[in-house]
Each structure stands twice: as C-alpha cells, then as structure tokens.
Structure 1
Amino acid sequence: MPNNANTNGVLEEALERLHASGPEIYEWRLTNHAPMVVEALATHGRSASVHRWLDAYEERLDDFPDRVSPVTDANWRVALGDTRRGADWIGYFLRAFEERPWRDVLAEWWPRLLPGMYGGSTHPVIRVGHAVRVITESGENAPRLTELAHGLGYWAARHRQIPGVVPLSGAPDADGALEAVPAIRDSQGGFTERLAQVDRLPVWSAYVTDPDEARRRLTELVTAATHRYATHGHGNATMLVHAATAPNAVLRTLPALPRALWVPSLHAAWTATAAVTSMYAPPEPSPYTPATGTTAEEVFERALAHGDEHVIKFADTAVDVGDERALTAALRAVELSEPLSY
C-alpha cells in the first residue's frame, strides 16, 4: 500500500513548517508527533491531507527551544540526556550532516543512543525511524535531513536508561515472551514513574548473534506487539501503541545501518517493547473480534478520518504488518482513542 513517490513537495513544506517548533509540547510535557504523522500520511499517498491535518494539530505546538551551549565532539557525554539541551543537540546533528554523509553519522550515533531508547516515552527513536524511512525509500533532501537531525537531537536530549533489570525465563517466540512479561507492581503515575518500577523482564532475544536472525526476530516482535494490541490495548490506548511503533522504527532503520548493529538493535527494541508492556498491561485481555474483509487502505483511511496522532502512527505500523489481526488492532485503536477535531 505505501506510495513511495512522495516527492511532490508537500512533505517538505510540512517539515519546514514544523522545524520552527520544538520536539515537545512543554505545557503538557508531551511529544510533538506532527513530523511523524505527516511522513506517514505522505508515504501512504495522503499528501492532500497533510496540511489540513497539520492545521488542526499546529495549535498545540511550542516554539523551538532556546540554546544553552553548543554540543561538541569533546563534551557530548556531559550533554547526553540533558533535557535542557534539545536545541544544542539538534544543532550538533545539523552541523554533522553538513560535514559527513548522514549514514556515517547515524552509524556512529546509533549504538550510543540505543541504550537510552526509553527517553521521551520512546518517541525519539520513532521520529528517527520515520525520517530514515522517507530518506531511504524516496531520497534525501534538505528538509528530510533536517528532520533526521531533529529526531536524533531529541533522542540525545531525552536519552534515558533503565539499569539493573533481572532476567526472567523467556519463551521461544515473541508472542509467548510478551505474554510472560510481568506487570509492574504499582500502575499509578506517568511514564517516568512506571519505568522506574521495571526491574524484571523475560529473556527472549539475548542469545541471538546473527544479523539476519536479528532482523527476522525484530519483524516477529513488531508483528506480535501489533497483534497484542487488539486484545490488550485497553490497558492504555495511547501508551501501548509504542510497544509496536518503537520496534518498528528500529526495523525501518536497519537497512541504513551496518549489519554489525542489527543484533544490538534487536536487544534494545525487545527491552523497550517489554518495558512498555510491563508498564501498561491490563489485568485481563478483551475478546478478539476480527475485522474480516477490511483492507489496509480502508483501515488507514479510518485512522486518518479519526485524526489522533497515535492512531495514525499505529495504523501505519499495522499496515506494515498487513494481516487481518494487525488491521483489527488498528481499528481497535480507533475505537479506544479520542479523535482529533479537524
């Protein structure tokens, strides 16, 4: 279904509008999802809807943040994870792309950023995945490279790790491993408070060493997490979307990375998906009712009509998976989520 001939300039116009805004909506401490959504709309042949959707969403956005002090090759370790330094980090990556090919910069920074995938509720890696997809599938240009710099800069500023996780017995497949994830003991509080309670996760991908096997397993993980939403999304309609969209962002980035980075990418993606599952798992699953006969085209159109940013991005991932259960999961997100009025 995706239409990769999105070079008509609409995406570029939208990205240029958005790059005057910050990566977060500070009043509510929420992520700016617009760059990810407009990329998904353009990639799925909905360029005509990009500016109309953005007009409705734009009132939420904040100005680009103030700079503090330049990030350099000498001081980046001190700046990593400093949430005040978002503009500084974006500036660092913009300069890096002027000096070196973007794939070289990405290959250098990907292993540095992977351990902090949890920062910003996994949104930074998702933003990077959208930017890499459009560049690798439709070509690079200035607005797309700027978008990748914004995504990487946001990730570096929001870099956050979870140390000391006890490994539990796993399962042979991703479905079983997700089923084995224990829920956190206290389900109150936001993402940061819940993440601090994640201290036990099943082992699933730890023994993979072959890059091709890592890619296969990552695909399996995206499928399993997308499917699971159909019966478990009510645990938190918004946050459980990320159990699927975060590993899919990693999967989309693999073709742009050296093969040596595929295995650690799988390990990080599994831990992030398992952590989100642990944090928001409902006490019981809901019944599964398949959306028989519904096409991917219809599902994405339903998501666009609904308008919620998480619904659109989840439908984007569900269409990647492409089977009936994935499309059913996307429609479940439509049912569970508050629509955007536009």
Structure 2
Amino acid sequence: MKTTGSTETTGTHHTDTSGVLDEALDRLHTTGPERLGRLTNHAPMAVEALAAHGQERAVHRWLDLYAPKLEEFPSGIAPVTAAGWQEALGDPRRAADWIAYFGRELSDRPWQDVLAEWWPRLLPGLYGGSSHPVIRVGHAVRTLLADGGDTTGPRLTELAHGLGYWAARHRPVTGVTPLPGADGAPASAALDAVPRIAEQQGSFPDRLGRVERLPAWAGAVTGPDAAYEHLTELVLAATHRYATHGHGQETMLVHAATAPNAVLRTLPALPRALWVPSLRVAWTASAAVTAMYAPAEAVVPAAPGPLAPEEVFERALAHGDEHVIKLTDTALDFSDELSLAAALRAVELSEPLSR
C-alpha cells in the first residue's frame, strides 16, 4: 500500500488514500439529495467515481462547477422510528428524517447488518427517484468495501444519505405483464425484445406508469452465483446498448446500465440469499428504462480507436456531465471496445457541464 496522499491501485480502479473523497463527501452532506423538488443531486456519485479512477485532484474543481445545482439540506418533519417506519416509506418530504434514522442506525451497528436488514425492504421500491437512490447506495458501498472495509465517518454518512434517499423515494412497480420468449436468451436479446411504450413523453414517473409489459428474463436462475453472472451480463449488455441506442434519450438511458450496476456492486456486501431477488428487480429496472426511452432504430457507433480506458475517463471528466462520468465509470468495469464506445457516445450526445 502506498503512503497517505497517494493513490493505491485495486484492479482497474483506485482507492483514494488522500482524504479528498472524504473531504468532498463532508462538503456534500450539508446539501440535500434533490433540488427543485424532483432533480437528483448527482455530486456524491460523481465524486466517488472520480476518486475511484485516480482523479482526486479534479474532485473539488468539479464540485465547484456543479455547486450551482446544489440545495441546502432539507428540514425534518418527525423522527422515523423502528416501530413506525412503514408510514414514512415513500414520502419524499421525509428525506431528512430518513437520513437521520439511518445515521443513527449506522452509528450503532455494523453497516453490513443495517444494509442486510434494509435491502429487502427497499428493493421493491428501487424505481423511485429515477433509480438514483440505489445508484447512490452502490457508490457508497464501493467505498466501504475498498481495502476490505474502509469505514470512515464520511463514507458511513454517505451510505446513510443513500439509504435515506431511497426510503423517501421508495416506489414499487406492479401490474407488469411478463412476456414469454426471452427467459433463456442472452441479456442483449432480452433487452432487444423489450417493447417500447406507445407514448414516449413526460417525466420518468409518468412514463413508468405506462410500462405494462416486459419480457421475463433469467426466471430459471435460483442460485446466487448464477444471479451474479446474469447481473454482470445484464450490465454489460445495457452498457453496450447505450452505444447503439443512447440517442433515444442521452441522459435517462444511462440508468439502464448504472442502476443494475449499482445492485451488482452491492451484492458482495449482502447475504447471498438476497442475490437472486436483486437480479429480478435490477432486470425490471433496466428493462423499464429501455421501454420508456429507447429509440425505434439503432445506430452504428464509432469505434473508440486506440484510446486506453483511462484516456476515455479523462474525456468524460473534461466533458464534466455527471451522467457521462457515471456511465464511463460503469463502462470501465468492462473496458471492452463497445463499452468504451458507449462512454464516448455519451460524451458526444450529452450537454457538457458549464464552465
């Protein structure tokens, strides 16, 4: 391990040992999980991705650019209690109450125990907040799993913010008819089989309410190892699909890959009995986003050429858009040619973060 102030390499990612990530998270925990009552604060996720890829020096500079999109931390209404938490579930007005509740829980118990208790409670409502809460949790868990469990105060607090946001925006999806024909197919074919909703307009919640049919996929999976393999396949397929279909909606289609990847990154911290149900919900989330935003026609993506993965990430950072950074972070989990092409396609399609 390198000394403090350096960056330690772990696989294709880096573990921030400089303290910059913790400083950034402390700075962000005075801000709320949303702005304008509906738009997500992406900064904690983006700065974690920057630190994970060795870009600690850019973290505060990026935050300064993103700062106009931040709002103050909201006021609480009433404490969430262990006996009465159900009445506060899915109430976005209670975000501060939920974050405080998880802050107390994580100060008293191991974070893995809290996560294991609440994951099955929150999992059915993964679709709320455009799936951003589970993505924030996935980034938080990655920091806590680094180096076998680096549980600094800011990182535990970040998990409390992610879980609290998820509880506040909890929204289940019901009444979706499973379509036959894709259950034993590759994930890419299953995504190709997703029928587009007829009316592709309106907000994420509006469109989500119009998702009525989705292919059944991976229904025969019963074991945790197979669930992990299928979820990995799904994330890769959704990332590849962005390269050919991202023009349908350059921002929202990012979540078809990043939401299941957040679940995938969290699996190692969860009891193995939760891996199969996590696959089921992740598939529904990815397929629903595909149904809501996918274009009618695919395009042929440009090849990334001789660019190395770290060069692709540097391009995402120079662009600055938070969704571009997060999709590139997911693409670099694989770093194959089509994944890198997807990241560059996001750079091409998306509006840069204003300087």
Tell me the TM-score normalized by structure 1.
Answer: 0.98
Counterpart among 175, 180, 202 of residue 169 in structure 1: 180
Query: Which residue of 1 is the match for residue 52 of structure 2?
Result: 43
Do the aligned partners of 1:4 and 1:137 also contact (CA within 8 Å) in 2?
no
Instruction: Determine if the alignment matches structure 1 residue 9 to structure 2 residue 19.
Output: yes
Query: Which residue of 2 is the match for residue 324 of structure 1?
Result: 337
* Separation in structure 2 between the aligned mates of residue 38 and residue 287 of structure 1, nearest angstrom: 31
* Equivalent residues in 2 for 1:38-187, closer than 5 Å: 38-138=47-147, 139-171=150-182, 172-187=185-200
How much has 1:283 moved relative to structure 2?
1.2
Query: Which residue of 1 is the match for residue 235 of structure 2?
Result: 222
* Equivalent residues in 2 for 1:168-317, closer than 5 Å: 168-171=179-182, 172-317=185-330
* Separation in structure 2 between the aligned mates of residue 193 and residue 273 of structure 1, nearest angstrom: 17
Do the aligned partners of 1:232 and 1:282 also contact (CA within 8 Å) in 2?
yes
* Separation in structure 2 between the aligned mates of residue 253 and residue 187 of structure 1, nearest angstrom: 31
Corresponding letter in the other structure for 1:21: T
Corresponding letter in the other structure for 1:212: D
Which consecutive unaligned segments of at least 5 residues does structure 1 have? none
Query: Which residue of 2 is the match for residue 337 of structure 1?
Result: 350
* Separation in structure 2 between the aligned mates of residue 159 and residue 126 of structure 1, nearest angstrom: 13
- For residues 23-67 of structure 1, the C-alpha deviation after alignment (integer angstroms, 9 at most, x for no partner) is 00126x210000000000011000000000000101111110110
**Alignment coverage as a number of residue pairs:** 341
Give the alignment's Cα RMSD to 1 decimal: 0.9
Corresponding letter in the other structure for 1:25: R
Change (3 A) 1:293 1:170: farther
Deviates more, 1:50-59 or 1:170-179: 170-179
* Separation in structure 2 between the aligned mates of residue 322 and residue 169 of structure 1, nearest angstrom: 32
* Separation in structure 1 between the aligned mates of residue 202 and residue 15 of structure 2, nearest angstrom: 43
* Separation in structure 2 between the aligned mates of residue 252 and residue 5 of structure 1, nearest angstrom: 15
* Separation in structure 1 between the aligned mates of residue 241 and residue 135 of structure 2, nearest angstrom: 19
Do the aligned partners of 2:207 and 2:292 also contact (CA within 8 Å) in 1?
yes
Corresponding letter in the other structure for 1:322: S
Do the aligned partners of 1:300 and 1:315 also contact (CA within 8 Å) in 2?
yes
How much has 1:321 moved relative to structure 2?
1.7
Query: Which residue of 2 is the match for residue 31 of structure 1?
Result: 40
Tell me, what secondary structure is at the counterpart of 2:16?
coil
How much has 1:247 moved relative to structure 2?
0.4
* Separation in structure 1 between the aligned mates of residue 253 and residue 173 of structure 2, nearest angstrom: 18
- For residues 287-316 of structure 1, the C-alpha deviation after alignment (integer angstroms, 9 at most, x for no partner) is 232213221011100000000000000000
- For residues 80-129 of structure 1, the C-alpha deviation after alignment (integer angstroms, 9 at most, x for no partner) is 00010000000010000111100000000001111111100000000000
How much has 1:69 moved relative to structure 2?
0.6
Corresponding letter in the other structure for 2:63: L
Corresponding letter in the other structure for 2:232: T
Do the aligned partners of 2:301 and 2:345 also contact (CA within 8 Å) in 1?
no
* Separation in structure 2 between the aligned mates of residue 262 and residue 215 of structure 1, nearest angstrom: 7
Tell me the TM-score normalized by structure 2.
Answer: 0.95
- For residues 239-292 of structure 1, the C-alpha deviation after alignment (integer angstroms, 9 at most, x for no partner) is 000000000000000010010010011001000000000000101111232213
